[in-house]
Structure formats: C-alpha cells, structure tokens
DNA sequence: TTCCAGTGTC
DNA sequence: GACACCGGAA
C-alpha cells in the first residue's frame, strides 16, 4: 500500500483556518456535556431571528432540521428571559471568528448553570493581544507543526498515525518527531498490524533520538497490540479508552480526540497553557482563589468558562506565546503587550525556586 | 550544568 | 509530591 505523510506547518494562517473550521464544526454539532452556555445561546438566538423572517409554513418545513431549537442541553437552563432583539455583536477583536459571545447582553439574559464559571474580565482582549504578538514573531510551535496526519491516508490509517504521532511527540522536540515519523512511514511501520509484528529494537532504532525512546518503543508495541485486539486495528474512539493506552495521558488523549476523531472533548492543556493561565489568573482550584496545581486542574477550570470555539486554538496560541515571551523562566514582560492586563507582570522571581532547591540539595549532599 | 515536557510509578 | 525517563539546546 502506498501512503503519503505530510506535516503541515502550523502558523498564523493555519490557525486562522482552524478557527473557521472549528467554528463551523461547533455550530453544526450539538452534542457534548462540556459546552459553556455562550455558543448555544447564539445558536438559539440565530434560529429565533431566522424564524421571524420566514413564513409559518416555511418554519413548519424547517422543523425537522432544527433539533437544537427546543432542546435543553447539558444542564443549561431554558432561557425564559432571552431577548433576541439585543443581538450579539460580532466582536471586532475576532475578525476570523464569526461569533464571539463577549457582549454583556448574553450574561444578563441567560441563567447560568452553576458548574459554569464567570469568565475573567478582559479575557477576549488578552487573547487578542497574545494573538497579535504571535503574528509578529514565529515560535517553534509554528515551524515544527503538531501532528497533522496527511489527508490522503484512509481514515483508519490516518487515525492510527495520529495516535502514534501523539505518542512520540510528547516530551520531545517536534522536528525530532518529524524524522521519526518519516522513518516509520518509509519502513511501513505506521499501522497497528506492522507495529505489532515488528521487533522492539527495530522500532527503537526508527524513533531514536526521540525523547524517552526506549519506553516509547515498548509503549508503541503495546498500543498496537491493544488496537488490534480490541479495536480491529483502529484507535479507541472515546477519551476514557484512549487514556487506557500506555503512554497516552490527558494531554495527548484530548489531542487525539480532536485531531483523530474531529471531536473536541476538552482543552489540550500542556505546561505552557497551565503556566500562562495561572499567571493571567484565569484558573483556580475549585471553590478557592488558589492557583491550579496540575494541567488537569487547569483544564477543568478553564473549561468552565472558556467559550468552546477557543478550545482548540488556545493551545497553539499559548504554547507559542510561552515559548517566546511568557517563558517559564524569566518571562519577558518588557516585550509583552498585555502587561497591563496581567496580574503576574514583573512578579516572577529572578532566580527560580527549582534551581535554588536543587543547588541546596547538591550542597547538602557534598 | 540546567532545562525542556508528558507520562508513569512510588 | 517527587522522581525517572531521554537527547540535545542553551
């Protein structure tokens, strides 16, 4: 079988495209337990408006295609006091996104479900500021690209390739992964069948020098085995099942759900998203004002308020920002255009705690 | 020498 | 929460 693999550079242009695709996808889907209320409010609003402009007869005809209209979704209360006349403004801050629920009208007219949190003030302004900074400067995430499998692959093979790519790319520089994936592909080792049969040392040599290649080679074989025996060579289609695979944690599981199945189940939170959201004061431990302790906690906190159309693009946006300006050590607040909106601006310690701790440990040992 | 970065294990 | 896993860049 001849398959081609292509890595797509992930830059501002692709990000724009992803915005549009994600938005289209979200508007056309109505299933998820994690929707913050805003996008759905817009859907209802749009339908109401549309229906007013057409005749009753036409509306009757449209009924079967309008499943969202009277649907109560995932605990969002029915909107009794909803006023469609106060039409939502299309945000000037988001030229690439058809709708962003930033107007106060939404908040006043909608009863919020208790498990949704109030968005932090200025979040849209902050995101737009970061987006602007990102458009001026390339970050490693832009040129290296995340694992976007070639569109010419059949769906099942493509999904498996996405899974393996995710497995390899965690904890590693992306250009290294690129090489590893290419070698696997050239040797026809990018299917569950081939991987399961392949020698572990062969796999090891193919993926070297990807980070933690020994463990990953062993995980790849295990994953291939599970995919073959339980999923007929395909990959698991739910978050829970993906998490059962060795070497697949929350971050990669969300990524695979999104890229592999085109199904946004949650925000892909890595160390950059985790760090920056905490610096911005966007997330907190449930019921407190304390910072979140883990990326998982950050994901849950963020999902309580961030509109779903931002769930996908926020990762490349913040990763790039975190690689260039809002770095873990010595963040470059002097170069940041949103310092006025950032509660942590210029507040990070000059010498990181971890280093101090390690030095102390070394001194104690010697 | 330190740091990167997500997962797994204790 | 601490630490191991990896090679390589800074």
Q: What's residue A21's pLDDT?
A: 54
Cα dihedral value A175, A176, A180, A183, nearest 10: 70
In angstroms, the CA A240 to CA A233 distance is 18
Using an 8 Å Cβ cutoff, are A44 and A69 in contact?
yes
Which of the given ranges, A26-35, A71-80, A177-186, A202-211, has the highest pLDDT on average?
A: A202-211
Residue A205 burial (CB count, 10 A) = 12
- Reported confidence tier of residue A257, pLDDT bands at 50, 70, 90: very high
A113 pLDDT band, cuts 50/70/90, is very low
What pLDDT does residue A258 have?
92
Question: Is the predicted pLDDT of residue A360 greater than 80, yes or no?
Answer: no
CA atoms within 13 A on the CB side of A211: 11
Structure tokens at A266: 């949650």
Answer with the residue of higher pLDDT: A218 or A99.
Answer: A218
User: What's the confidence (pLDDT) of residue A42?
Assistant: 26
Q: Torsion angle, CA of A33/A36/A42/A47, rounded to 10 degrees?
A: 20
What one-character DSSP code corresponds to residue A309?
Answer: G
- With 0-12 CB in 10 A as exposed, 13-18 as middle and 19+ as buried, what is A328? middle
User: Which of A78-92, A144-158, A351-365 has the lowest average pLDDT?
Assistant: A78-92
**Residue A131 has which token pair?**
């987006």
CA of A192 to C1' of B7 (A): 21
Give Cα separations from A342 to A4, A99, A275, A296, A320 (angstroms).
44, 25, 13, 22, 17
What is the rounded end-to-end Cα distance, in angstroms, of chain A?
59
Residues with CB under 7 A from strand B: A 170-171, 211-212, 219, 245-253, 270-272, 295, 322-323, 327-329, 352, 354-355, 358-359, 362
The model's confidence at residue A181, banded by pLDDT at 50, 70 and 90, is confident
pLDDT at A224 over 80: yes
| Residue A265 Cα distances to A21, A31, A145, A220, A337, angstroms | 16, 10, 21, 24, 31
pLDDT (0 to 100) of residue A22: 47
Give residues lining strand C (CB < 7 Å): A 171-173, 176, 208-209, 211-215, 293
Bases of chain C below 7 A from a protein C-beta are 1, 5-9
Dist CA A237 CA A33 (whole Å):
16
Q: Which nucleotide has its C1' atom closest to residue A170's CA?
A: B6
The confidence score (pLDDT) of residue A220 equals 96
Q: Which nucleotides of B are covered by protein (CB under 7 A)?
A: 2-8
Lowest-confidence region among A115-124, A224-233, A354-363: A354-363
Does residue A17 surpass a pLDDT of 70? no
- According to DSSP, residue A122 is labeled T
**Nearest CA-CA partner of A304 in A123, A132, A131:** A123
Q: State the CB neighbour count (10 A cutoff) for residue A348.
A: 15
For A269-313, the pLDDT digits (tens) are 999 999 999 999 999 998 899 999 999 999 999 999 999 999 999
Is A89's pLDDT higher than 70? no
Check pLDDT > 90 for residue A5.
no
Q: List C-alpha distances in Å: A107 to A86, A95, A102.
A: 12, 22, 9
How far, in Å, is the CA of A82 from the C1' of nucleotide C6? 56
Yes or no: say if A173 and A144 are a contact pair by the CB < 8 Å rule: yes
The whole-angstrom distance between residue A200's C-alpha and the CA centroid of its chain comes to: 31
Listed in sequence order, the residues at least 6 apart from A355 whose beta carbon sits closer than 8 Å to its beta carbon are none
Nearest to A1 by CA among A162, A153, A209: A153
Nearest-5° angle of CA A262, CA A2, CA A236? 30
Report yes or no: A346 and A339 within 8 Å, Cβ to Cβ.
Answer: yes
How confident is the model over A26-83, as pLDDT tens digits? 444 434 444 443 332 222 222 222 233 333 454 344 433 333 222 222 222 333 333 3
What mean pLDDT is reported for chain A?
71
Residues 6 or more apart whose CB falls under 8 angstroms from that of A317 comprise A15, A127, A130, A131, A134
Confidence of residue A342 (pLDDT cuts 50, 70, 90): very high
Q: Does the annotation mark A347 as catalytic? A: no
- Catalytic pick from A45, A216, A221, A251? A251
pTM of the predicted protein model: 0.69
Lookup: nucleotide whose C1' is closest to A355 CA: B2
């Amino acid at each position: 079988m001849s398959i081609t693999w292509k890595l797509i550079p992930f830059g501002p242009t692709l990000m724009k495209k992803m915005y549009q695709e994600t938005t289209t996808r979200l508007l056309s889907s109505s299933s998820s337990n994690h929707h913050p209320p805003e996008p759905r409010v817009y859907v209802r609003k749009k339908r109401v408006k549309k229906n007013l402009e057409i005749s009753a007869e036409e509306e009757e005809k449209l009924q079967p295609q309008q499943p969202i209209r009277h649907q109560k979704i995932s605990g969002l209360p029915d909107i009794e006091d909803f006023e469609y006349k106060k039409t939502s403004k299309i945000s000037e801050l988001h030229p690439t996104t058809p709708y962003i629920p930033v107007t106060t009208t939404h908040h006043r007219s909608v009863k919020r479900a208790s498990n949704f949190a109030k968005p932090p003030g200025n979040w849209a302004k902050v995101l737009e500021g970061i987006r602007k900074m990102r458009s001026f400067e390339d970050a490693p995430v832009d040129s290296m690209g995340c694992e976007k499998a070639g569109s010419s692959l059949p769906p099942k093979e493509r999904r498996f390739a996405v899974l393996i790519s995710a497995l390899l790319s965690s904890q590693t520089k992306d250009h290294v992964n690129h090489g590893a994936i290419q070698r696997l592909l050239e040797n026809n080792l990018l299917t569950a069948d081939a991987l399961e049969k392949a020698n572990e040392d062969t796999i090891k040599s193919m993926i070297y020098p990807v980070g933690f290649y020994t463990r990953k080679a062993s995980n790849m074989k295990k994953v291939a085995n599970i995919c073959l025996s339980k999923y007929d060579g395909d990959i698991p289609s739910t978050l829970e099942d993906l998490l059962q695979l060795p070497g697949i944690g929350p971050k990669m599981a969300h990524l695979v759900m999104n890229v592999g199945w085109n199904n946004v189940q949650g925000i892909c939170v890595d160390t950059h998203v985790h760090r920056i959201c905490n610096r911005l004061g966007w997330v907190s431990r449930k019921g407190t004002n304390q910072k979140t302790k883990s990326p998982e906690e950050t994901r849950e906190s963020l999902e309580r308020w961030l509109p779903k159309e931002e769930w996908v693009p926020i990762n490349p946006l913040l990763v790039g920002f975190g690689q260039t300006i809002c770095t873990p050590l010595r963040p470059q607040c002097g170069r940041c255009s949103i310092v006025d909106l950032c509660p942590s601006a210029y507040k990070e310690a000059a010498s990181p705690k971890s280093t101090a701790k390690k030095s102390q440990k070394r001194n104690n040992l010697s």
